[in-house]
Structure 1
Amino acid sequence: MAPNSANGSIPSQLTRIAPKPPGNADPVPFFLFILVNATLFIRPAELVPALEAVPIYLILIIACLAISLPAVLEQMSPRRLVEQPISACVVGILIAVVLSHLAHADLLLARTEGFEFSKVALYYFLLIGVLDSPGRLRSFLTWLAIFIIILTGLALIHYHGIAEIPALKALERTDYDEKTGEQIIVLQLMSTGIYNDPNDLCLILVAGIMISAYQLSERRIGLDRLLWLAPIGMFTYALILTKSRGGFLALLGSFMVLFTTRFGWRRAIPLAVIVLPAMFLLSGGRQTRISADEDSAQSRILLWSDGFALLKQSPLTGIGANKYGDYLGNAAHNSFVHAYTELGILGGTFFLGAWYLPLWMLHRLGTCRAEILAPDLRGFRPFLMAMVAGYAIGILSLSRNYVVPTYMVVGLAVVFIRVAPVAPPEMIPR
């Protein structure tokens, strides 16, 4: 029987063989994990100076890890790593980080850099261990949207002078007026903590737009779903204020993936003809001046070329994690070039796999041979695919190989693939 019946309902035969998603009834690990992410996004110590000496994030993530240890260890078990190759890639990156320095007999950096990235990897395994059911995935997405609303709201409040928040000082960049040719100072919106950079802020704004658009598309919510128009408007406005070209390209790419995945090529093309010119019109200025002839583009291309030249010195294990700047005076401004140069063919391929595999697996779940049985999760797949694709496009102009948000996005794809009930079960991507 075909996965989709004529009236769009799910055949009973498929419902009977659908695997029941696993779930832990204890709410404490999830509650602590939400607090971990609240601290990660909002950074209360940056807003309240009195909290600077308190390691809030460290305390919370240790507590969450302690109470969730069995679930985390289960996701790190050899059996799970074989079943879930994305997780195997994350472990492979950790091994590559250590080997990249051991290959140069630098035991100190092998230990310190390995320890630093192990904290990022632990967050990833904590995420896929705690979000063990469709309900928890849905709840986390809502909380994630709330955190993005808060950090965006704080940034906009400071940007428009409504309140002075020292940690949110906008980035000043020299540019030129297209009409007069005069030099001008452009202010680029930033937010707190790990998003204290216009390009990083754009990446999470694109994720926020996709989550909000998904909620807006959920008819089961009723008219309340229209409330999600507000955060979509806020995130889009904030993204324009970042004046980030990489962020604009990430949004552009995510919409193209969303349209083609949700509507198919035939319906996506007319939508793109309407939406894409509107995006260029709304953004304008520096953000839409995308050319290989720009000075910044030329300098980045040179950095990439120099990076690949360095790779020849140590092709298998690379020059060492976080050593790109030591050799060339700057980051690669491309996470994939950065990964191959610093971690060699070994680590670079693991990093590439950590992004290719989620997109491939999510694509497979949309084929006619597989059926996601939960209607809301089935509807989320195109938006998640767009989110992953948008982030991947964004890090083509950023070096973000060893930070938590990079693996949070990858982890959300893993959680979705793991908890979404699929029929027939053998079609679950492996």
Structure 2
Amino acid sequence: MLNFKVSELINYIKELTNKDFILNQLYVEGEISNLNKHSNGNAYFTVKDDYCRLSCVIYDYKSLDNNGSLEDGNQVRLKGKISLAEAESTLRLLATEVESIGLGNIYERFEKTKKELEEKGYFSSDHKKSIPKFSKKIGVITSSDGAAIKDIISVTKRRNPYVSIVLYPAAVQGPYSASSLIEGLDYFSDTDVDLVIIGRGGGSYEDLDSFNSKELALKIFNFDKPIISAVGHEIDFVISDFVSDMRAPTPSAAAELAVFNHYEAIKEIENNLSTIFKSLENKFYKESTLLKTLDTRLKLISVDKIINNKARDNLVLINNTKNIVNNNIKFKESNLNLIYKKINKDKLLKLISDNENKILRLKEKSFKSIDYKYLDMERKLLLLKSRMDKLDVKAMQKQGYSVVLNSEFDLVRNINDVDIEEIINILLENGEIKVKVLEKKEYQL
């Protein structure tokens, strides 16, 4: 028995493949899957049938006459040779020509199912349910050990640690995966989850085929809770993407769409509260300023102040009258002294006596007149006070009258004190009304 090192054995097999006539020039038929058109100009993919797969590479695929045949799901005939990749120790086909011979079975079935369901309206937006904005519990149907559930949990914890994740561990590829996914939906139909995420990470087109199941699509369509489909990478589309209520390009993106950001919500609430408090402070300041202005204006039209001012003016008038009378008496006395020097004593005494009596009568009459005027003024003041009491603002407001102030808070006495479209203030007994002036009409008196 020969003893080989690994590299020696691989090199030996490589020599055999290089020398084999059939393996150096052959045609291979199969379905393209897992195609990767690399930026270096090469195309890497798998060609398969119902039983086996073979890795393939085409160098500078854009230079091929029929490079449009290089699409996932296409059934093709490839010309090339078998080569052994030393580093990976895998056989691969180095293809030099590609010829399309129809659609692959998986892709053909996908297109048939898609067309049938689309024609029946299963993809219509009219049937799609809204995704809840504030979900508290989210169901996830995916593999328990795949990257999808780890990504969903990570994003959820980052956005909102108070949201619960309930996992239904399902098979996401293989012959029984579609039924496993359907069982997951049956499980969540009787729970209190707010929505369901169904999906898996990326893979080859055949790996995603369970999500093209017609039975799964019908189950999703009739499900009573919102569903987000999150299958594969951004470029992958499956039937569940079209029939679900929302499609997410990746499981991480599904979590971003399903879980509201707790921290951003708190920040938004705080900003809204701050805005409300500032608005209330501004309103309180404006109302306080208005109240002070109205108080000042009410004091200016105070009945008591008007009466006090009128009484003060009357007292001044009375004092002035008394002063005038006293001055007249002094003037008369001065005249009497002059007359005394001109007449004899007897006549003077008689004249003095007569004048004294006249003066006394005049003085008495004057003071009676003053007292009468004072009493008359006092009576008029009382009458004025009675009238002013009736004009008291608060009393008038209780009787249905109101005080009207323009936008500058000046008292409105006639139509010329306001303008059209001006906002005016009407003060009533129990509050204030702001109104807009729509029309002015002057009455002919």
For the aligned pair, the TM-score class normalised by the smaller chain equals: under 0.3
**More strand per residue: 1 or 2?**
2
Q: Which has the higher contact order (CA 8 A, sep 6+)?
A: 1
Q: Which has the larger radius of gyration?
A: 2
Normalised by the length of structure 1, the TM-score is 0.19
**More helix per residue: 1 or 2?**
1
Normalised by the length of structure 2, the TM-score is 0.19
